[in-house]
A and B are shown apart, each in its own frame.
Chain A
Amino acid sequence: MSGVNLSGIVKAYGALQVVHGIDLDVQEKEFVVLVGPSGCGKSTTLRMIAGLEEITSGDLIIDGRRINRVAPKDRDVAMVFQNYALYPHLNVADNMAFGLRIRRMPKAEIKTTIDDVAEILGLTPYLDRRPADLSGGQRQRVAMGRAIVRHPKVFLFDEPLSNLDAKLRTQMRAEIKRLHNRLGVTSIYVTHDQVEAMTLADRIVVMNDGNIEQVGTPMELFNNPANTFVASFLGSPPMNQMKGTMTATGATVGDAEILIDGASAANAGRDVIVGIRPEHVTLTAQGPSSALPISLDLVEPLGSEALLHARHGDNAMVFKADTNGDISHLSGVGEVHVPSHLVKLFDAETGQALTLGA
């Protein structure tokens, strides 16, 4: 079982603690994405798994073995770096063979391995080229090839797509996903891009300020964020969050009342944060919902849909609406309808998600 287990992992630089005792269990063959804002500790965590950073305390277990003090080369992990880390003086084949030569693999075996992996990654025509003669996407593939030839137990990816343009990033994202499905190697992937996290992950780990905020499948996190941080981090645009007060049937936001499934008199009067996903509102009432009056600031057309920037009292919010090829009908929108079963509630003080009727 080549799973990865982190138990109470702490990283401190002197008195400054940057990772505060995180626990995470990555299953064999699982693709786990660590996501969070810059400085949240995700790359540090990955580097601790790789052995590039010392672990201050806690246990790191790979394949059932505690490897806190094991040298990086003996951890049987391969890492793909943000800037590819390709050796500029070596051609593609030699870059891919670097780790194998260090490990004194027989030449014939190295050649077979390189040829096989180059074939998988579509790099066969470029084996004699140096990194400077390759495009960004090709360099990225070489970086992955160098990791794959090692046949490691665990792949570690440190923001590998962040240097690519948007189009190439989408292509490479799909390639990484296909490759993972084909190779089935346990993978831990770090990114600050929530779209990458949502599309690639079997499970997402949302990190913030050195702590894990929530772990779950992409849809679990999207549909049931554990707190306001996760709610605001996943989703584009992020979830609208407005201060409100619970009533027997829902919550008041400004001078409007929003119906919420499960609301009862027991919670009435409680201060909450009401969360509404931009894509969950409709322009006309559909099923049980409540109308939220808005004053429209701006309409941003995106093609098939548009972003409506609006205000309700002091609350600024963004909603998504279908355009059907025309945005003229959106300029007169004065209210949106919020389905009662899709409204999320968070505690006003702690920011933790509230479950009504539980």
Chain B
Amino acid sequence: MLLEVRDLYVEFRTRDGVAKAVNGVGYGVDAGETLAVLGESGSGKSVTAQTIMGILDVPPGRITGGEVLFQGKDLLTLKEEERRKVRGAQMAMIFQDALSSLNPVLSVGDQLGEMFVVHRGLSRKDARARAIELMDRVRIPGAGQRVRDYPHQFSGGMRQRIMIAMALALEPALIIADEPTTALDVTVQAQVMDLLAELQREYDMGLILITHDLGVVADVADRIAVMYAGRIVESAPVHDVYKAPAHPYTRGLLDSIPRLDQKGRELYAIKGLPPNLMDIPPGCAFHPRCPMAQDVCRTDEPPLYEVSEDRGSACHFWRECLHG
């Protein structure tokens, strides 16, 4: 396994109390594999990613347990110095908002080249040549001329390509993409996702795709991990989940999205709201919104039951859900 997160706990200390953002998350990704981490706002999907990358703001964040094994080493116990060498060179991250992730006063060529100057010790001139090469690789037309342009001179889709180029620069083994296409229009989104998938195959990278979009997941993922209230509620190969979800939350999400290829009547709506992270319901965190909830769900927190060899569900009634 390229990356494995084990039993991770992260909390945030705020003025109003302790928000338990991540409560025992575990997932793994292999080289060449795409893992989609699906969840709504507040599910802990981005916090987990920030913890893996080591860019969690501490404080107010605090890692209270678990390990992040990257190529066998626990990143959480590494010194900041060694951690920095991993970041960028061996794992890289792509963010949702490319405009605010790029420095507006430096040309994109300088920003791309800097990666090579800092990590590889190349000269400015060589770094610029590599920057042009990278921009070609992510198919930015006229890379040779545009290398001197500033971020605001590019369109949203082109900026996201530059972000991808930056992530790829040092040929990392793992890329974490946090909602990489959410801010983009559908036609551009398709271009960018295609590019990302293609580059992933080319470099045989592991890809963790964090998203709330069930359509994007179905398009690109190999495996899916569904998060709710800071836990993994279902983890499975992507085909299995869409065929027959083994957790009522996953089922609810799939039923609640309108589909392009069918004209439905009323949408199924998951009742209620995502839980307050300062006051997560006891037992199964999803029970107040769950149509299948029984007494046991209010008291006993379900473990991640093994549904099959490569599939797990954190629901006491996963069998009923799977077959009903």
A pairs with B: no
